[in-house]
Amino acid sequence: MSDIFELALSTPDNTKTYCVRFSVGGQNYEGELSFDSVKMVHTWSQSIPAPQEKEIEFTFFDTESEEDSSLSIQAKSVKDDTVLPLPDLLKKVSSEESEQFNELSDGNIFCAEIYVRLLYENNECYYYIGLTDRSGNTFAMLADAETGEVLATKQPKA
């Protein structure tokens, strides 16, 4: 397992190269964003521990004018005490979708990748859970973040 911290920035001018600067857990981070021409956003990701801060200030700037045109954004956490911790979520989801988890297991060894992302929409939190087998096929689930109840599933294309 690894923690991945991801940022996405949508800008009106995609011809510039953008950077981000922020601090998490007393550690300063700065990096250049990559442009994703399919999604039309600038992205940055790094393997860092999940932040414990309730707010993080991000400063974005382009490499040509840096401080002259910087943009600061205060991001607040949407995760509160009602959101299930990851171990509890996986226990609940694996129980509800035991057939899918069993198909991807060899005895006590889980032979797939689990991707989990917390989603937030309309003041509600949900978990996206993706189980990807060795062939790259993903069984996707959407679960309630408070109860872990699986609300929807999507089978990989045959």
| Model pLDDT for residues 80-120, shown as the tens digit of each residue | 889 999 999 999 999 999 999 999 998 888 899 999 999 99
The confidence score (pLDDT) of residue 66 equals 58
d(CA 99, CA 153): 13
Residues in the chain: 158
The confidence score (pLDDT) of residue 65 equals 74
Helices (H) and strands (E) in the chain, counts: 2, 13
| 15 alpha carbon, distance to own chain's centre | 26
The confidence score (pLDDT) of residue 68 equals 64
pTM: 0.72
Q: How far apart are the first and last CA of the chain?
A: 28
Please, what is the average pLDDT of the chain? 90
Write down the residue that tokens 């490499």 correspond to: 63
Confidence of residue 67 (pLDDT cuts 50, 70, 90): low
CA dihedral 148, 152, 156, 157 (to 10 degrees): 180
Residues 6+ apart with CB under 8 A from 105: 111
